[in-house]
Amino acid sequence: MVTSTHETSHRIFQDHPEVLAPVFQALGLEPPVKAEIEAITPDATEIKPLERRVDTVLKVVPSDGDGFLLAIEAQTKRAPDKGVNWAYYVSYLHAKFELPVLLVAVCRHRSTATWAAGPFECRVGPWATQVTRPFVLGPDTVPPVTDEAMVAREPALATFSALVHSESEQSEAILNLLARGMRSFDKATAMYWSEFLEIGLENTPARETWRELEKMVVTFFPGRGTVFEEAYLDGEAKGEVAGKKQAVLRVLEARGLAVSDDVRERVDACTDAQVIDSWLDRSVAVERVEDLFGEE
């Protein structure tokens, strides 16, 4: 079953490859910010009706050196068939793209991380024909956040670290430090990382701790029931036109969009509940305030 915890544990690498810094450092490669990194299809399905899908696959092209693929798997617990699947992913991607493959497993639990390191062997008697050794990002390989300056300097890595250590005894201290560090962000950046973290923590005690710390409005993940979304839907839940109007303006402002007096007056003057509902839906996605009104 795909969960929010699982999705955020690998999705973060697609948009923020700088989180891969610990991997690059351990392997003696140049920092990921200097390499060209692009997401490619994670589909590893054969012609036969058997679907196999890697969580995230990235193609890395260093400025100096040979390219390779990163196959990233989020693993929340041990799985008896995972060693076989991982061996298949590596072999398939290597054959399809003719590039070497580095398999990275992201684990929050120390015991799961120890298991995920392998090796996973295809063995007959004393002879191992194939050996799979994932590179594990877990509590022992991802340093915890201990400095507010790191949060401001590397928000993606700091957020990822908080997710990895969410099951540890240090979790509450890390979250408090992260919240303090986010005060230096602009509103849109703070909202994005704050909610990304809440979604990643899912239904855990750490998530409730974080919900007490975050003070933002608007959601980037509709339907997840976050603090942002509760505030966003507040006006709609009341069933009042006035509440919905206020919600439209709050969402736009929370996303860092400049709301002019003309826009405020136009929203305030509207009495059509359906029109206001459409504005409320658009307010979470429009890039310019002017686009809020569409063809109206």
Q: pLDDT value at position 218?
A: 40
By the 8 A CB rule, do 17 and 156 touch?
no
Q: What is the CATH number of domain 4-137?
A: 3.40.1350
| pLDDT range class, residue 115, cuts 50, 70, 90 | very high
Its pTM stands at 0.63
Task: Examine the pLDDT at 255 and tell me if it is beyond 90.
Answer: no
219-240 pLDDT, tens digit per residue, is 455 555 665 556 555 554 555 6
CA dist., res. 155 & res. 159, Å (int): 6
Q: Which residues pair with 120 in a beta bridge?
A: 132
Q: pLDDT value at position 263?
A: 86
Task: Examine the pLDDT at 291 and tell me if it is beyond 90.
Answer: no
Of residues 155 and 236, more confidently modeled: 155
Domain with CATH 3.40.1350 in the chain: 4-137
| pLDDT range class, residue 47, cuts 50, 70, 90 | very low
Average pLDDT, the chain: 79
CA dist., res. 158 & res. 12, Å (int): 12
Q: pLDDT value at position 95?
A: 93
CA dist., res. 215 & res. 229, Å (int): 12
